[in-house]
Structure 1
Amino acid sequence: MQLQTPRLILRQWQDSDTTPFIQMCADDEVMRYFPKKLDTSEATAFLQRIRSDIEKRGWGLFAVELKATGEFIGFIGLHVHPAEFELADAPEIGWRLLPKYWQQGYATEGAKAVLKYAFRNLRLDKVISFTACLNTPSERVMQRIGMQKLREFDHPRVPSDHPLNKHVLYEIRRSDYLHIPFC
C-alpha cells in the first residue's frame, strides 16, 4: 500500500528507514512535546509495532519519503489505540518529521492524503488527533486539514504535574470531510 501526493510518497517501512527513525526518536527538537526521547531499543520496538500494524491492517503510520530525492523525512498515518485508552473509539492521525523538513507543508500535505484514504477507502466514520497543548505547530496542522477542536484533557499516561500533561483533542467526521474543498 502506498499513498502519493505531489511531493511525497507514504509507504511501508524499509530497512534503510531504521537509522533515521531511531535518530528522529532521540532528537531533542522532534521529541520536545513527548514526555521523553526514545533510546535505540525503545525506538526499534516502536518501529516494529508500526511495521506489524501495517502488515496486519494494510495501513498505519507510513514512512514518508520525498518524491524528488527518495529521502526519508519521517512518518504520517493512522494509529489505533488500545481498547483501554479513553480515545480508542477512532483511529488517530499523527505525524512526526525530521526538523529540516518542518515548516514546508509536508505534514499538512501528507495528512490530507491520509484523511482522503481514511474516509474514501477505509470508510471510517471519524478520525481523531491529539497533542500536548504546548505543541501549537501540530495543532495548526490539525486545523489546516479541517479538524475541529473538541476539548482539552489530561493525558492518562503523563504525570499530572508534568508540563505536557494537558492535551488538546481534535476530530473530523467523514460527513464533514466530504464538504471540505480540498478533499
Structure 2
Amino acid sequence: MTEIRTPRLLLRRWSDDDLVPLSEIHADPEVMRRIGDGSVLDLDETAEAIERWEEEWDDEGFGIFAVELLASGELIGAVGLTAPEGPPELEHQVAISWRLGRPFWGQGYASEAAQATLEFALQDRGLDRVVCANHAGNEESANVIRKLGMTEDATVTDPASGALLTLYSIDLTEYEG
C-alpha cells in the first residue's frame, strides 16, 4: 500500500471511512468552484470519484491520495496525480492536483502534500514531467504551484467549463526536491 508521510500529513490510498468526510468537502461550493465545471458533488458522485481514483492507482501506479492530519487522523482532502482528460494540451501527460476542505486552507497543507506528491512522481514513479492546470485568478493555488518550482507554459480555455486555465509544468531536470 502506497503511503507518504510528511511532517504533518499522511498521504494514503482511500478507505470506506473516507467517503462521508470527502463528500462534505465536495459539497462546499467554495471548494469546488475551480474544480471541473465548478459543480458540487453529492455522496454518490464522491463515491464514483474515489472509485475512479482507485482504478487509476491500479492501472497507472499513481493516483489521487487521501490526505489526513497525522495528529488527529482527520481527512482534510485529496492530493495526487492523474492522467487528465482535458484540456487537449494536457492529454497524455500526468497532472498534479489538490483539493482541501476550507477549514484547512492557508495553513501550508496543500504545499506540503503537493511537494511530497511531486517528489513521489519524479523520484519514486520515475516520471520525467508533471503538469498542472490552474484557473485564472486562483492565486492560492498559483502560490502552491510556484513553491513546486513549476513554470508557466500557456493559457488556454477549458472546453468543458469555458474557464481560462494557466498551464504549468516541471520536468525532472528542473526539479530541486
Compute the TM-score of the two structures, normalised by the length of structure 2. Answer: 0.92
In the aligned structure 2, how far is the partner of 1:25 from the partner of 1:136? 20
In the aligned structure 1, how far is the partner of 2:170 from the partner of 2:85? 20
Q: CA deviation at 1:58?
A: 3.2
What's the counterpart of residue 147 of structure 1?
A: 150
Change in Cα spacing, 1:83 to 1:166, as seen in structure 2 (3 Å) is: closer
Change in Cα spacing, 1:108 to 1:83, as seen in structure 2 (3 Å) is: closer
- Map 1:54-73 to 2 at 5 A: 54-73=57-76
What's the counterpart of residue 158 of structure 1?
A: 161
SS at match of 1:124: coil
In the aligned structure 1, how far is the partner of 2:145 from the partner of 2:86? 24
What's the counterpart of residue 172 of structure 1?
A: 170
Q: CA deviation at 1:30?
A: 0.6
- Map 1:34-183 to 2 at 5 A: 34=35, 35-82=38-85, 85-159=88-162, 165-177=163-175, 180=176, 183=177
Percent of counterpart pairs with the same letter? 36
Change in Cα spacing, 1:24 to 1:83, as seen in structure 2 (3 Å) is: closer
Task: Determine if contact 1:33/1:134 at 8 Å carries over to the other structure.
Answer: no
In the aligned structure 2, how far is the partner of 1:83 from the partner of 1:19? 28
- Map 1:13-24 to 2 at 5 A: 13-24=14-25
Superposition RMSD in Å? 1.5
What's the counterpart of residue 11 of structure 1?
A: 12
Q: How many residue pairs end up in the alignment?
A: 174
Change in Cα spacing, 1:24 to 1:84, as seen in structure 2 (3 Å) is: closer
In the aligned structure 2, how far is the partner of 1:125 from the partner of 1:73? 29
Change in Cα spacing, 1:44 to 1:176, as seen in structure 2 (3 Å) is: same
**Runs of 4+ with >6 A deviation:** none
What's the counterpart of residue 162 of structure 1?
A: none
Task: Determine if contact 1:153/1:167 at 8 Å carries over to the other structure.
Answer: yes
Q: CA deviation at 1:21?
A: 0.8
In the aligned structure 2, how far is the partner of 1:50 from the partner of 1:39? 16
Gaps of 5+ in 1: 160-164
